Structure 1
Amino acid sequence: MLRQINNSQKKREANNFGKLLLVILLLNINIMIAQDKNTNSNNLNAHQQSMAGIAAFSAVGNMQQLKTELNTGLDSGLTINEIKEALVQLYAYCGFPRSLNAINAFMEVLEKRKADGITDLQGREASPIKAVNDQYRVGKETLQKLTGREEKEPKTGANAFAPVIDVFLKEHLFAAIFSRDVLNYRQREFVTISILAAMSGVEPQLQAHISMGLNTGITENQIIELSTIIEKKIGKEQAEIVKSLLKKVIQNNKNN
C-alpha cells in the first residue's frame, strides 16, 4: 500500500515537473518570437531593399541592373506609382538626365511585363496639393521638420552666396516634391540616402540626409543594412562611407 502511494506521488511529481518544463519552453518560445519581431522591425523589408537598389542603380546610371531591380521591386509588391515617385525625386539629387533615363527604363520594364501577361499594382495617386502663395514657406517648414531644427537668419554658406539655390531647394524639392503623399517623409529620406550613398563626392549631403532619415524614423540598423546593399550593388568604398557618416551623425547627436 505504501509503495503504491509512493509511486502515485512520484507520478504526480513527474507530471508537475513535465508541466513546468512545458511552461518554461513556451515562455522561451514567446521571448524568442518577441525578440525576432523587434529585430525584424529594425531590418529593411523587401520593399525597402528593392527601393534601395532602384535608387542606387538609377543614380549611377546602370540601366541594365536597374531593370533587374525594377522587376524585383514590382514582384515584391512595390506599386508603379511608388516607383515613379522615387524616380521623379531622383532629379533633385542627381539631375534630370539620370531621372529621365530611369523613367524610360521603367517604361520598358512595364511594357515587357504587360506583354508577358503580368499585371502590376498601379497604386494610389498623390492627393491634390492645396494651392499656396508661399511655396518657399512650405518648403522651409518641411525642411525644419526633417532636420528637427529651426532655420535661423541670416543665411550662411551656399544659400547666402547663391540665394536662388535656397529658393529652388525649398520650392521645388521640399515643397513641390515632398508634399506629394504617395511616399511619406521617411520613405523619401530613405530613397534620398540610397541615391546619395551610391554617388561619390556627396558626403556632406549624405551626412545631412542620414541625420534627417534618423529623425523621420529610419533606424541605425537599417542604415547599416543599407550599407550592405550598397556594398553588394555599388562597391565597398561607397558602403564604408555610409557607415563612417552614420557614426559621425550618431556622435554629433550625442554631443548636442
Structure 2
Amino acid sequence: MTTASSKIGGLTRRQEATVAIGAFTAIGDIPRLREDLTQGLEAGLTISEIKEILIQMYAYAGFPRSLNGLGTFMALLEERRANGISDLTGADPTATIAALSALDGAESQLGSHLRIALNTGLTEADLRSLVTVLRTRVGQAPGDRADAALDKVLATAKG
C-alpha cells in the first residue's frame, strides 16, 4: 500500500491505487484490497471507476475473486456513507448493458453484466427502466433481449 503523499515513478496516486486494487483482487487479499480501495477513493477514483476495475478482474481472476472484491467495496462504501463521507460516483454500467442488448448474440455477456449491475447497486426497478428505454428509444429487439436476459438472471438468483 502507498501513503497519500507517495508517488512511485511516473504513476499518479490514482494509478498506484488501480495497480494495487487489481493485484489484491486477483490474489484474494481482502484486507489489503480494502486499504487500497480506501486509498483509491481518497486519490480521486470514482465509485464507477473502481467498480470497473473489480468487474474486469472477472475475466482474469475469476468470478469469485471479482465478486469478493465488489462485496468488499460495497461494504466499504456503506461504512464511509455511515461516517458521512460522500464519494464521487462517476458513470454507471448502463451503457455496457445497452450496448450488449443492442448486439444479437451477446446474451451471455449481457447476463453477466446484468448480474454485476445488481451486485453493484442497481436495482431490478432500475434495470426494468433500462429495458423500457431500450424498447422506446432504440428498438423492440434490444429491449426484448435485455428483458429476457434480466428475467433469466433474476430467476437464477431466486432459484
The normalised TM-score by structure 1 is 0.36
Whether 1:99 and 2:70 are equivalent positions in the alignment is no
C-alpha deviations, 1:143-181, integer Å up to 9, x for none? Answer: xxxxxxxxxxxxxxxxxxxxxxxxxxxx74xxx87xxxx
Within the candidate set 36, 39, 49, 1:82 is matched to: 49
Within the candidate set 19, 22, 30, 1:55 is matched to: 22
Query: Displacement of 1:134 after TM fit?
Result: 4.8
SS for the counterpart of 1:120 is coil
Q: Give structure 1 stretches of 5+ with no counterpart.
A: 1-39, 136-170, 178-256
Q: Distance in 2 between matches of 1:132 and 1:80?
A: 27
C-alpha deviations, 1:86-128, integer Å up to 9, x for none? Answer: 1111111111110111111101111111111100011112423
Whether 1:124 and 2:91 are equivalent positions in the alignment is yes
SS for the counterpart of 2:103 is coil
C-alpha deviations, 1:183-210, integer Å up to 9, x for none? Answer: xxxxxxxxxxxxxxxxxxxxxxxxxxxx
What amino acid does structure 2 have at the position aligned with 1:92? Answer: A
Q: Distance in 2 between matches of 1:95 and 1:81?
A: 20
What amino acid does structure 2 have at the position aligned with 1:76? Answer: A
Percent same amino acid among aligned pairs?
Answer: 43
- 4+ residue segments displaced more than 3 Å: none
For 1:58-73, list aligned pairs within 5 A: 58-73=25-40
For 1:1-256, list aligned pairs within 5 A: 43-126=10-93, 127=95, 128-129=98-99, 131-135=102-106, 172=109
The normalised TM-score by structure 2 is 0.56
What amino acid does structure 2 have at the position aligned with 1:132? Answer: L
Q: Which has the larger radius of gyration?
A: 1
Q: Distance in 2 between matches of 1:71 and 1:133?
A: 39
SS for the counterpart of 1:90 is helix
What amino acid does structure 2 have at the position aligned with 1:111? Answer: E
What amino acid does structure 2 have at the position aligned with 1:97? Answer: P
What amino acid does structure 1 have at the position aligned with 2:104? Answer: N
C-alpha deviations, 1:190-233, integer Å up to 9, x for none? Answer: xxxxxxxxxxxxxxxxxxxxxxxxxxxxxxxxxxxxxxxxxxxx
Q: Distance in 2 between matches of 1:132 and 1:62?
A: 36
Query: Displacement of 1:131 after TM fit?
Result: 0.8
